[in-house]
Amino acid sequence: MAGALHSYSGQALTLLGDKGRFVVPSDFRKTVKESSDGHRILCLAKHDRWDCLVGFGLSREAELETQLDREEDAALRLGREYDRELRASQLFGFEKIPFDDSGRFTMPDFIKTDGLIEDALFFRGGGRFFTIWNPQVLDRQGDEWRAAKAGCQGLLADIAAKAKRK
C-alpha cells in the first residue's frame, strides 16, 4: 500500500484529552494507517510557510525524494541556486509519532510549540497531506482561508453546544 497514492480530504476538530493526548480523526487515521503499510505512524512537521503543522503517512517519504528532484531540476532550468541538502532537511525533518487504535497520540512539546498548538486541533485535508491548525491561529489567517475558518468555527460551535447539553 505504501506505493499507492493516498489523499486526505475533509475536516475535523479534536480537543486535548485529560491525559495530554490528542486524537487523529477517524477518516484521517484510516488513510494514515493505509499509507503506512498498516502501521499506526503519523508523520508530523511544521509547515514550511504557514503557521500550522502538516501531517501524512509514511508513503509520502518516496514522494519527497521526487519533489526534491523536481525542485532541483526547476532551479537549474531557471538558473537559480538550489541547496538540496537544506531543502531535504526541511522536507524530511518530520517526526514519526505512533498512535493507538483509537487514534490517540502524544504530541512532543517542541512540535506543539513550533505549530503554535494549544488545546484544540483543526484538521484540514490537503490532498497528499493534511494541515493541523490551532483554531485561534487559523482564525487570524487571510480571506483565502475563509472556507477552512468557517468549517472550524462550525465544529467549535458543535462542541460548545454538546458541552452545554451535559
CATH of the domain at 40: 3.40.1550.20
Residue 128 lies in a domain: yes
Neighbours of 141 (CB within 10 A): 15
Question: pLDDT tens track of the chain, all 166 residues?
Answer: 444 678 999 999 999 998 999 999 999 999 999 999 999 999 999 998 999 999 999 988 888 889 999 999 999 999 999 999 999 988 888 999 999 999 999 999 999 999 999 999 999 999 999 999 999 999 999 999 999 999 999 999 999 998 888 7
Residue 82 lies in a domain: no
Per-residue pLDDT at 62: 83
3-class DSSP assignment, residue 104: strand
CA angle 59, 48, 100 (to 5 degrees): 45
SS3 content of the chain, % helix, strand, coil (to 5): 40, 20, 35
Cα 109 from Cα 106, distance rounded (Å)? 9
Residue 104: domain span: 11-60+91-165
